[in-house]
Amino acid sequence: MNHSLKPWNTFGIDQSANEIVCAENEQQLLDAWQSAHALNQPVLILGEGSNVLFLESFYGTVIVNRIKGIQVTEQPDAWLLHVGAGENWHQLVQYTLRNNMPGLENLALIPGCVGSSPIQNIGAYGVELKQVCEYVDCIELATGKRSRLTAEMCHFGYRDSIFKHDYQDRFAIVAVGLRLTKQWQPVLSYGDLTRLDPVTVTPQQVFDAVCHMRTTKLPDPKVNGNAGSFFKNPVVSQETAQALLAQCPGAPHYPQNDGSVKLAAGWLIDQCQLKGVSVGGAAVHRQQALVLINSSNASSQDVVELAHYVRQKVGEKFAVWLEPEVRFIGALGEVNAVETIA
């Protein structure tokens, strides 16, 4: 238990693991998994650790996926990208813009690796991964058998996919296939983007605006450890949304295709005057209430207690119960985050 996980999670939580292995290709990843499995040890596959909270030290092997490579195929109407799971997501966004292949600019500055993007079906400012994902390549860890899942087979939902359910723990993502259409259409439905002119706006301007919004509102993990948005934006019934809007007519709300309504978790937290509230070394960020930060050598328990407090306050005021977006990792693997903070 002497391998520190502190450099491997953006929260900067000081837990450790029995073993940490950096895998630069599929074979290294398989070998590490199968070695640990032969010893009956649990295994956790990490990208950049930007969406995890280690609750305690991990009694097994952490495999850091660093499988790299970007291959581009041009078609008459689109660019097809085959991207290694260990590539940095934001650097991929920059690469596509540099090479005049727009479509990912709304997803700029989302922390983490490409291989993590399908697990959460990452999204920001009106765009989700599922809109550009063609396929996800996986290997079955027990057999080494490779399989390709189409976007439909991934069962993408809001911050959800098959990789959180049937494919969790048994498969590792090794590459992601993206399709960026040449008929670029800007998505300008959120935040500062609504001020841009859809007729003249360029992909670079969208990228710059997204980066500006994220850097001014979100803390730098190198300064204050954090895992980005800690809670999911809750999706509620029309009845719940109408009750909230009767109470707070100005509440941000986004009707969904299935009749449900998405609310803004950060706004709900802010309305409870929770910005800056702290428990031990963990605090609610003063600029963006959706982010919990490691302000001063926070323990995992500090973060859990703060998340519980925030959830209770929002639930009491609005009858809306927030769920963590961050994955909670216990000694033997992932645990239920809602149950942990309830």
Q: Quick check: is 159 catalytic?
A: yes
For residue 316, CA distances in Å to 215, 244, 278, 304, 313 come to 31, 12, 19, 18, 5
Q: Is 152 helix (H, G, I), strand (E, B) or coil?
A: helix
Please give the span between the terminal C-alpha atoms of the chain, in angstroms, as a whole number.
29
Q: Which of 50, 116, 161, 229 is catalytic?
A: 229
Residue that has been written with the tokens 């040890």 in this structure: 41
- Residue 126's alpha-carbon distances to 50, 106, 190, 249, 253, in angstroms, are 21, 7, 7, 22, 13
CA 334 to chain centre: 15
Catalytic entry in 159, 179, 214, 311: 159
Cα–Cα nearest to 296, from 225, 219, 221:
225
Question: Nearest CA to 171 among 140, 147, 144?
Answer: 140
Counting every residue written for the chain, the total comes to 342
To which residue do tokens 């596959």 refer? Answer: 45
For residue 232, the 8-state DSSP code is P
Write the DSSP string, 160-225: B-GGGTTTTTTEEEEEEEEEEESS------SGGGGGS-TTT--HHHHHHHHHHHHHHHS--TTTSE
User: Which one of 26, 105, 128, 325 is the catalytic residue?
Assistant: 325
Active-site annotation, residues = 159, 229, 325
